[in-house]
Amino acid sequence: MAIVNLGLIVVEAVGYFSLMVSLLHFRHRLGLGVFMTALGVMHFMETYLAAVFYVSLPFGVASPGSSVFFAGKLMMILMLYLEEDASTVRQPIYGLFLGNLLTVAIAWVLQLHDTVEISPGNAADFSFLKEIGWLMVWGTALLYLDALGIILLYERLGHWMKRKVILRFVLCGFALLTFDQIGFFGALHYFLDVPLAAFWDGWRAKMFAVCIYTALFAIYRLCIHRNGVPAAARSLSDLFGDLTFRERYNDLLERTGRDILTGVYDRSRMEFEAPVMMREALRQGQFTTVIIIDADHFKDVNDNFGHLQGDEVLKSIAARLVTILRSADRVFRFGGEEFVAICPGTDHEEGLLVAERLRWTIETSVRTPDARPVTVSIGVATADEDGVSFMTVLSTADDRLYRAKKNGRNCVFGRTGLVKVS
Protein backbone atom coordinates (compact mmCIF):
# COMPACT_ATOMS: atom_id res chain seq x y z
CA MET A 1 0.00 0.00 0.00
CA ALA A 2 2.93 2.33 0.66
CA ILE A 3 4.01 2.03 -2.99
CA VAL A 4 0.49 2.85 -4.17
CA ASN A 5 0.43 5.91 -1.91
CA LEU A 6 3.79 6.99 -3.31
CA GLY A 7 2.45 6.68 -6.84
CA LEU A 8 -0.56 8.78 -5.91
CA ILE A 9 1.77 11.40 -4.40
CA VAL A 10 3.59 11.62 -7.73
CA VAL A 11 0.30 11.91 -9.66
CA GLU A 12 -0.91 14.64 -7.31
CA ALA A 13 2.35 16.58 -7.66
CA VAL A 14 2.31 16.31 -11.47
CA GLY A 15 -1.34 17.37 -11.61
CA TYR A 16 -0.83 20.32 -9.27
CA PHE A 17 2.27 21.52 -11.12
CA SER A 18 0.69 21.13 -14.55
CA LEU A 19 -2.40 23.14 -13.64
CA MET A 20 -0.58 25.91 -11.78
CA VAL A 21 2.15 26.31 -14.39
CA SER A 22 -0.48 26.48 -17.12
CA LEU A 23 -2.20 29.34 -15.28
CA LEU A 24 1.16 31.05 -14.79
CA HIS A 25 2.27 30.52 -18.38
CA PHE A 26 -0.93 31.99 -19.81
CA ARG A 27 -1.25 34.76 -17.20
CA HIS A 28 -1.10 37.52 -19.82
CA ARG A 29 -4.11 36.05 -21.56
CA LEU A 30 -6.11 34.85 -18.52
CA GLY A 31 -4.95 37.47 -16.04
CA LEU A 32 -2.55 36.99 -13.15
CA GLY A 33 -5.50 36.99 -10.74
CA VAL A 34 -6.51 33.52 -11.95
CA PHE A 35 -3.13 32.13 -10.88
CA MET A 36 -3.24 34.05 -7.58
CA THR A 37 -6.71 32.79 -6.72
CA ALA A 38 -5.84 29.19 -7.50
CA LEU A 39 -2.70 29.54 -5.37
CA GLY A 40 -4.64 30.85 -2.38
CA VAL A 41 -7.81 28.77 -2.51
CA MET A 42 -5.90 25.61 -1.58
CA HIS A 43 -4.57 27.03 1.69
CA PHE A 44 -7.33 25.73 3.98
CA MET A 45 -7.13 22.28 2.38
CA GLU A 46 -3.33 22.22 2.77
CA THR A 47 -3.58 23.10 6.46
CA TYR A 48 -6.38 20.65 7.12
CA LEU A 49 -4.55 17.78 5.40
CA ALA A 50 -1.29 18.65 7.16
CA ALA A 51 -3.12 18.48 10.51
CA VAL A 52 -5.15 15.26 10.17
CA PHE A 53 -4.52 13.44 6.88
CA TYR A 54 -1.48 11.14 6.78
CA VAL A 55 -0.61 8.20 4.56
CA SER A 56 2.01 5.47 4.69
CA LEU A 57 4.95 5.87 2.30
CA PRO A 58 8.07 3.73 1.76
CA PHE A 59 10.10 6.25 3.81
CA GLY A 60 7.56 6.89 6.60
CA VAL A 61 4.21 8.53 7.27
CA ALA A 62 3.50 11.92 5.71
CA SER A 63 0.69 14.22 4.65
CA PRO A 64 0.07 15.14 1.00
CA GLY A 65 -1.13 18.53 2.22
CA SER A 66 2.31 19.41 3.48
CA SER A 67 4.57 17.41 1.17
CA VAL A 68 2.76 17.93 -2.14
CA PHE A 69 0.55 21.01 -2.00
CA PHE A 70 2.40 23.31 0.40
CA ALA A 71 5.75 22.39 -1.14
CA GLY A 72 4.22 23.00 -4.55
CA LYS A 73 2.91 26.39 -3.45
CA LEU A 74 6.37 27.52 -2.33
CA MET A 75 7.96 26.38 -5.59
CA MET A 76 5.17 28.17 -7.50
CA ILE A 77 6.01 31.35 -5.59
CA LEU A 78 9.63 31.03 -6.72
CA MET A 79 8.47 30.52 -10.30
CA LEU A 80 6.20 33.56 -9.99
CA TYR A 81 9.23 35.59 -8.91
CA LEU A 82 11.21 34.31 -11.91
CA GLU A 83 8.39 35.32 -14.26
CA GLU A 84 7.39 38.61 -12.59
CA ASP A 85 9.07 40.32 -9.62
CA ALA A 86 9.20 40.48 -5.82
CA SER A 87 6.42 43.10 -5.58
CA THR A 88 4.07 40.71 -7.38
CA VAL A 89 5.05 37.79 -5.14
CA ARG A 90 4.13 39.63 -1.96
CA GLN A 91 0.50 40.11 -3.05
CA PRO A 92 -0.72 36.52 -2.50
CA ILE A 93 1.30 36.25 0.72
CA TYR A 94 -0.28 39.36 2.23
CA GLY A 95 -3.69 38.27 1.00
CA LEU A 96 -3.37 34.83 2.58
CA PHE A 97 -2.10 36.21 5.86
CA LEU A 98 -4.86 38.82 6.22
CA GLY A 99 -7.50 36.33 5.09
CA ASN A 100 -6.41 33.80 7.69
CA LEU A 101 -6.40 36.43 10.44
CA LEU A 102 -9.95 37.25 9.37
CA THR A 103 -10.82 33.53 9.61
CA VAL A 104 -9.59 33.39 13.21
CA ALA A 105 -11.42 36.61 14.09
CA ILE A 106 -14.69 35.34 12.60
CA ALA A 107 -14.30 32.02 14.44
CA TRP A 108 -13.93 33.96 17.70
CA VAL A 109 -17.02 36.10 17.00
CA LEU A 110 -19.11 33.10 15.96
CA GLN A 111 -18.58 31.55 19.39
CA LEU A 112 -20.75 34.33 20.83
CA HIS A 113 -23.78 32.94 18.99
CA ASP A 114 -26.21 30.59 20.71
CA THR A 115 -26.23 27.86 18.04
CA VAL A 116 -28.97 25.39 17.21
CA GLU A 117 -28.19 21.78 16.26
CA ILE A 118 -30.61 21.11 13.38
CA SER A 119 -29.02 17.77 12.50
CA PRO A 120 -28.18 15.26 15.29
CA GLY A 121 -24.43 14.81 15.73
CA ASN A 122 -23.51 17.74 13.45
CA ALA A 123 -22.95 20.56 15.90
CA ALA A 124 -20.42 23.26 15.05
CA ASP A 125 -16.92 22.28 16.21
CA PHE A 126 -15.42 25.62 17.25
CA SER A 127 -12.38 24.04 18.88
CA PHE A 128 -11.39 22.47 15.56
CA LEU A 129 -12.06 25.72 13.70
CA LYS A 130 -9.86 27.67 16.12
CA GLU A 131 -7.05 25.13 15.89
CA ILE A 132 -7.10 25.11 12.10
CA GLY A 133 -7.42 28.89 12.03
CA TRP A 134 -4.32 29.46 14.12
CA LEU A 135 -2.43 26.81 12.18
CA MET A 136 -3.36 28.65 8.99
CA VAL A 137 -2.12 31.95 10.44
CA TRP A 138 1.12 30.33 11.59
CA GLY A 139 1.52 28.53 8.27
CA THR A 140 1.04 31.77 6.36
CA ALA A 141 3.55 33.59 8.57
CA LEU A 142 6.01 30.81 7.79
CA LEU A 143 5.09 31.06 4.11
CA TYR A 144 5.96 34.76 4.19
CA LEU A 145 9.40 33.94 5.62
CA ASP A 146 9.75 31.03 3.20
CA ALA A 147 8.93 33.24 0.19
CA LEU A 148 11.32 35.94 1.34
CA GLY A 149 14.04 33.41 2.05
CA ILE A 150 13.67 31.45 -1.17
CA ILE A 151 13.97 34.62 -3.27
CA LEU A 152 16.99 35.92 -1.34
CA LEU A 153 18.68 32.53 -1.46
CA TYR A 154 17.99 32.17 -5.18
CA GLU A 155 19.57 35.57 -5.84
CA ARG A 156 22.53 34.82 -3.55
CA LEU A 157 23.23 31.52 -5.27
CA GLY A 158 23.21 33.44 -8.54
CA HIS A 159 26.56 34.96 -7.61
CA TRP A 160 28.20 31.51 -7.88
CA MET A 161 25.98 29.65 -10.32
CA LYS A 162 24.31 32.30 -12.44
CA ARG A 163 23.45 30.09 -15.41
CA LYS A 164 22.50 27.01 -13.36
CA VAL A 165 18.89 27.97 -12.83
CA ILE A 166 17.62 24.44 -12.25
CA LEU A 167 20.30 23.68 -9.66
CA ARG A 168 19.49 26.90 -7.82
CA PHE A 169 15.80 25.96 -7.96
CA VAL A 170 16.30 22.60 -6.27
CA LEU A 171 18.77 23.90 -3.66
CA CYS A 172 16.38 26.66 -2.67
CA GLY A 173 13.57 24.14 -2.34
CA PHE A 174 15.65 21.85 -0.13
CA ALA A 175 16.77 24.68 2.16
CA LEU A 176 13.51 26.56 2.64
CA LEU A 177 11.26 23.51 2.96
CA THR A 178 13.61 22.19 5.64
CA PHE A 179 13.18 25.49 7.47
CA ASP A 180 9.41 25.30 6.98
CA GLN A 181 9.25 21.73 8.25
CA ILE A 182 10.94 22.77 11.47
CA GLY A 183 8.59 25.70 12.00
CA PHE A 184 5.32 24.04 11.02
CA PHE A 185 6.05 20.78 12.83
CA GLY A 186 6.56 22.77 16.03
CA ALA A 187 3.00 24.10 15.69
CA LEU A 188 1.60 20.64 14.93
CA HIS A 189 3.40 19.22 17.93
CA TYR A 190 2.12 22.00 20.21
CA PHE A 191 -1.51 22.08 19.02
CA LEU A 192 -2.12 18.46 18.01
CA ASP A 193 0.60 16.42 19.81
CA VAL A 194 2.04 15.12 16.54
CA PRO A 195 4.98 12.78 17.46
CA LEU A 196 8.62 13.61 16.66
CA ALA A 197 8.91 10.70 14.21
CA ALA A 198 6.50 12.55 11.91
CA PHE A 199 9.04 15.37 11.57
CA TRP A 200 11.60 13.24 9.73
CA ASP A 201 8.98 11.41 7.68
CA GLY A 202 7.44 14.71 6.61
CA TRP A 203 10.87 16.17 5.83
CA ARG A 204 11.75 13.25 3.58
CA ALA A 205 8.39 13.57 1.81
CA LYS A 206 9.01 17.28 1.17
CA MET A 207 12.47 16.60 -0.20
CA PHE A 208 10.96 13.97 -2.49
CA ALA A 209 8.36 16.51 -3.65
CA VAL A 210 11.10 19.07 -4.38
CA CYS A 211 12.81 16.53 -6.64
CA ILE A 212 9.56 15.97 -8.53
CA TYR A 213 8.87 19.68 -8.91
CA THR A 214 12.45 20.36 -10.02
CA ALA A 215 12.20 17.70 -12.72
CA LEU A 216 8.91 19.19 -13.91
CA PHE A 217 10.38 22.71 -13.75
CA ALA A 218 13.32 21.56 -15.90
CA ILE A 219 10.94 20.09 -18.48
CA TYR A 220 8.88 23.27 -18.53
CA ARG A 221 11.88 25.56 -18.82
CA LEU A 222 13.73 23.56 -21.46
CA CYS A 223 10.82 22.40 -23.60
CA ILE A 224 7.96 24.87 -23.18
CA HIS A 225 9.09 28.19 -21.72
CA ARG A 226 11.98 28.49 -24.17
CA ASN A 227 10.23 27.41 -27.36
CA GLY A 228 6.63 28.30 -26.59
CA VAL A 229 3.68 25.96 -26.42
CA PRO A 230 3.15 24.07 -29.69
CA ALA A 231 -0.36 24.60 -31.00
CA ALA A 232 -2.63 22.13 -32.69
CA ALA A 233 -3.20 22.62 -36.39
CA ARG A 234 -6.88 23.34 -35.89
CA SER A 235 -7.98 23.87 -32.29
CA LEU A 236 -11.43 24.82 -31.06
CA SER A 237 -10.21 28.32 -30.19
CA ASP A 238 -9.08 28.74 -33.81
CA LEU A 239 -12.60 27.96 -35.00
CA PHE A 240 -14.10 30.60 -32.75
CA GLY A 241 -11.36 32.97 -33.88
CA ASP A 242 -12.37 32.39 -37.48
CA LEU A 243 -15.99 33.16 -36.64
CA THR A 244 -15.36 36.36 -34.68
CA PHE A 245 -12.05 37.51 -36.22
CA ARG A 246 -10.99 38.50 -32.69
CA GLU A 247 -8.02 36.18 -32.51
CA ARG A 248 -6.65 37.37 -35.84
CA TYR A 249 -7.31 40.99 -34.94
CA ASN A 250 -5.52 40.68 -31.59
CA ASP A 251 -2.57 38.96 -33.22
CA LEU A 252 -2.34 41.68 -35.86
CA LEU A 253 -2.66 44.42 -33.24
CA GLU A 254 0.10 42.86 -31.15
CA ARG A 255 2.50 42.76 -34.08
CA THR A 256 1.78 46.28 -35.33
CA GLY A 257 2.99 49.42 -33.66
CA ARG A 258 6.34 47.86 -32.74
CA ASP A 259 9.64 49.69 -33.02
CA ILE A 260 11.73 47.61 -35.41
CA LEU A 261 15.04 48.29 -33.68
CA THR A 262 14.21 47.83 -29.98
CA GLY A 263 11.10 45.64 -30.10
CA VAL A 264 9.09 47.88 -27.76
CA TYR A 265 5.96 49.69 -28.90
CA ASP A 266 6.43 52.77 -31.08
CA ARG A 267 5.09 56.32 -30.79
CA SER A 268 2.02 55.72 -32.94
CA ARG A 269 1.00 52.84 -30.69
CA MET A 270 1.54 55.08 -27.64
CA GLU A 271 -0.69 57.80 -29.01
CA PHE A 272 -3.42 55.23 -29.54
CA GLU A 273 -3.06 53.08 -26.40
CA ALA A 274 -1.75 55.36 -23.62
CA PRO A 275 -4.84 57.65 -23.44
CA VAL A 276 -7.07 54.58 -23.17
CA MET A 277 -4.95 53.13 -20.37
CA MET A 278 -5.04 56.42 -18.47
CA ARG A 279 -8.79 56.91 -18.86
CA GLU A 280 -9.48 53.37 -17.67
CA ALA A 281 -7.26 53.80 -14.62
CA LEU A 282 -8.91 57.11 -13.70
CA ARG A 283 -12.33 55.55 -14.14
CA GLN A 284 -11.35 52.93 -11.56
CA GLY A 285 -10.03 55.59 -9.19
CA GLN A 286 -6.37 54.71 -9.79
CA PHE A 287 -3.31 56.81 -10.55
CA THR A 288 -1.27 56.44 -13.72
CA THR A 289 2.37 57.48 -13.80
CA VAL A 290 4.17 58.51 -16.99
CA ILE A 291 7.96 58.16 -17.06
CA ILE A 292 10.12 59.64 -19.83
CA ILE A 293 13.64 58.24 -20.14
CA ASP A 294 16.33 59.89 -22.26
CA ALA A 295 19.85 58.50 -22.81
CA ASP A 296 22.47 61.06 -21.80
CA HIS A 297 25.00 62.27 -24.40
CA PHE A 298 23.78 59.65 -26.85
CA LYS A 299 25.05 61.66 -29.82
CA ASP A 300 28.58 61.08 -28.53
CA VAL A 301 28.04 57.33 -28.75
CA ASN A 302 26.99 57.58 -32.39
CA ASP A 303 29.81 60.01 -33.22
CA ASN A 304 32.56 58.01 -31.50
CA PHE A 305 31.52 54.45 -32.28
CA GLY A 306 29.05 54.62 -35.17
CA HIS A 307 25.31 54.21 -35.46
CA LEU A 308 25.40 50.42 -35.31
CA GLN A 309 26.99 50.51 -31.86
CA GLY A 310 24.51 53.21 -30.89
CA ASP A 311 21.68 50.91 -31.94
CA GLU A 312 23.06 48.18 -29.67
CA VAL A 313 23.04 50.59 -26.74
CA LEU A 314 19.41 51.51 -27.46
CA LYS A 315 18.43 47.85 -27.61
CA SER A 316 20.15 47.23 -24.27
CA ILE A 317 18.30 50.13 -22.66
CA ALA A 318 14.96 48.89 -24.01
CA ALA A 319 15.68 45.37 -22.76
CA ARG A 320 16.35 46.68 -19.23
CA LEU A 321 13.14 48.70 -19.25
CA VAL A 322 11.05 45.71 -20.28
CA THR A 323 12.71 43.51 -17.66
CA ILE A 324 12.10 45.87 -14.74
CA LEU A 325 8.60 47.12 -15.48
CA ARG A 326 5.54 45.03 -14.63
CA SER A 327 3.44 43.10 -17.11
CA ALA A 328 0.65 45.70 -16.81
CA ASP A 329 3.02 48.56 -17.74
CA ARG A 330 3.81 49.60 -21.31
CA VAL A 331 7.10 50.80 -22.81
CA PHE A 332 7.18 52.90 -25.98
CA ARG A 333 10.03 54.33 -28.02
CA PHE A 334 9.16 58.02 -28.12
CA GLY A 335 11.79 58.91 -30.68
CA GLY A 336 15.57 58.78 -31.05
CA GLU A 337 17.02 57.87 -27.68
CA GLU A 338 13.84 58.63 -25.69
CA PHE A 339 11.46 56.08 -24.21
CA VAL A 340 8.12 56.49 -22.41
CA ALA A 341 6.80 54.09 -19.78
CA ILE A 342 3.09 54.10 -18.82
CA CYS A 343 2.47 52.61 -15.37
CA PRO A 344 -1.25 52.29 -14.48
CA GLY A 345 -2.16 51.80 -10.84
CA THR A 346 1.04 53.58 -9.76
CA ASP A 347 1.03 56.77 -7.69
CA HIS A 348 3.74 59.43 -7.89
CA GLU A 349 5.89 58.15 -5.04
CA GLU A 350 5.84 54.62 -6.45
CA GLY A 351 6.60 56.03 -9.89
CA LEU A 352 9.66 57.83 -8.56
CA LEU A 353 10.92 54.58 -7.02
CA VAL A 354 10.39 52.76 -10.32
CA ALA A 355 12.17 55.56 -12.20
CA GLU A 356 15.14 55.51 -9.85
CA ARG A 357 15.36 51.75 -10.20
CA LEU A 358 15.38 52.15 -13.99
CA ARG A 359 18.08 54.82 -13.80
CA TRP A 360 20.28 52.76 -11.48
CA THR A 361 19.85 49.54 -13.45
CA ILE A 362 20.79 51.16 -16.76
CA GLU A 363 23.79 52.91 -15.24
CA THR A 364 25.12 49.70 -13.71
CA SER A 365 24.38 47.30 -16.56
CA VAL A 366 24.55 49.13 -19.92
CA ARG A 367 27.96 50.05 -21.32
CA THR A 368 29.38 51.84 -24.35
CA PRO A 369 31.87 49.89 -26.51
CA ASP A 370 34.73 51.36 -24.44
CA ALA A 371 33.08 50.03 -21.22
CA ARG A 372 31.83 53.38 -19.94
CA PRO A 373 28.45 53.35 -18.18
CA VAL A 374 25.43 54.65 -20.07
CA THR A 375 23.28 56.97 -17.98
CA VAL A 376 19.76 58.31 -18.43
CA SER A 377 17.78 61.35 -17.31
CA ILE A 378 14.17 60.77 -16.29
CA GLY A 379 11.08 62.93 -15.86
CA VAL A 380 8.04 61.66 -13.93
CA ALA A 381 4.44 62.90 -13.85
CA THR A 382 1.24 61.32 -12.56
CA ALA A 383 -2.47 61.51 -13.41
CA ASP A 384 -4.63 62.87 -11.99
CA GLU A 385 -2.36 65.03 -9.83
CA ASP A 386 -0.52 66.48 -12.85
CA GLY A 387 -3.53 66.45 -15.16
CA VAL A 388 -6.26 64.15 -16.41
CA SER A 389 -5.39 63.94 -20.10
CA PHE A 390 -2.49 61.90 -21.39
CA MET A 391 -0.97 64.75 -23.40
CA THR A 392 -1.02 67.04 -20.35
CA VAL A 393 0.71 64.50 -18.13
CA LEU A 394 3.19 63.63 -20.89
CA SER A 395 4.00 67.32 -21.37
CA THR A 396 4.61 67.69 -17.62
CA ALA A 397 6.88 64.66 -17.57
CA ASP A 398 8.76 66.03 -20.56
CA ASP A 399 9.26 69.35 -18.79
CA ARG A 400 10.66 67.52 -15.77
CA LEU A 401 12.96 65.53 -18.03
CA TYR A 402 14.33 68.85 -19.30
CA ARG A 403 14.90 69.94 -15.70
CA ALA A 404 16.71 66.68 -14.97
CA LYS A 405 19.06 67.41 -17.85
CA LYS A 406 19.61 70.96 -16.62
CA ASN A 407 20.52 69.53 -13.20
CA GLY A 408 23.48 67.55 -14.51
CA ARG A 409 21.78 64.50 -16.07
CA ASN A 410 21.77 60.92 -14.67
CA CYS A 411 18.94 61.76 -12.28
CA VAL A 412 15.18 61.58 -11.74
CA PHE A 413 13.02 64.72 -11.55
CA GLY A 414 9.51 64.56 -10.10
CA ARG A 415 6.84 66.87 -8.76
CA THR A 416 8.89 67.89 -5.72
CA GLY A 417 12.08 68.30 -7.67
CA LEU A 418 15.27 66.32 -7.99
CA VAL A 419 15.07 62.80 -6.59
CA LYS A 420 18.68 61.73 -6.86
CA VAL A 421 21.87 62.89 -8.51
CA SER A 422 24.81 60.52 -8.96
Q: pLDDT digits over 39-52, tens only?
A: 888 877 887 787 77
Same domain, 190 and 286: no
Q: Say if 337 falls within a structural domain.
A: yes
Q: Say if 245 falls within a structural domain.
A: no
Contact indicator for 54, 185 with CB cutoff of 8 Å: no
Grade residue 238 by pLDDT with cuts at 50, 70 and 90.
very low
| Mean pLDDT lowest among 83-97, 132-146, 233-247, 393-407 | 233-247
Q: Which of 8-12, 50-54, 56-60, 123-127: highest mean pLDDT?
A: 8-12
- Residues 16-75 have pLDDT tens digits of 999 999 998 888 788 888 888 888 888 778 877 877 788 999 888 888 888 899 899 889
Q: Say if 119 falls within a structural domain.
A: no
Same domain, 35 and 169: yes
* Spatial separation of the C-alpha atoms in residues 81 and 89, rounded to whole Å: 6
The contacts of residue 53 (CB under 8 Å, 6+ apart) are 63, 64, 65
Q: Say if 234 falls within a structural domain.
A: no
How many residues would you count in the chain?
422
- Residues 255-267 have pLDDT tens digits of 568 888 998 999 9
Considering only CA atoms, which of 194, 213, 203, 180 is closest in space to residue 59? 203
Of 190, 225, 260, the domain-final residue: 225
CA distances from 85 to 39, 78, 297 (A): 17, 10, 31
Q: In terms of pLDDT, which residue wins out, 420 or 302?
A: 302
Gyration radius from the chain CA atoms: 26
Same domain, 88 and 187: yes
Q: Say if 235 falls within a structural domain.
A: no
Structural domain of residue 49, as residue ranges?
A: 2-113+124-225
CATH of the domain at 408: 3.30.70.270
Same domain, 195 and 298: no
Same domain, 138 and 212: yes
Same domain, 257 and 402: yes
Grade residue 12 by pLDDT with cuts at 50, 70 and 90.
very high
* Spatial separation of the C-alpha atoms in residues 155 and 165, rounded to whole Å: 10
Number of separate domains in the chain: 2
Grade residue 242 by pLDDT with cuts at 50, 70 and 90.
very low
Q: Say if 414 falls within a structural domain.
A: yes
Q: Does residue 297 sit in helix, strand or coil? A: coil
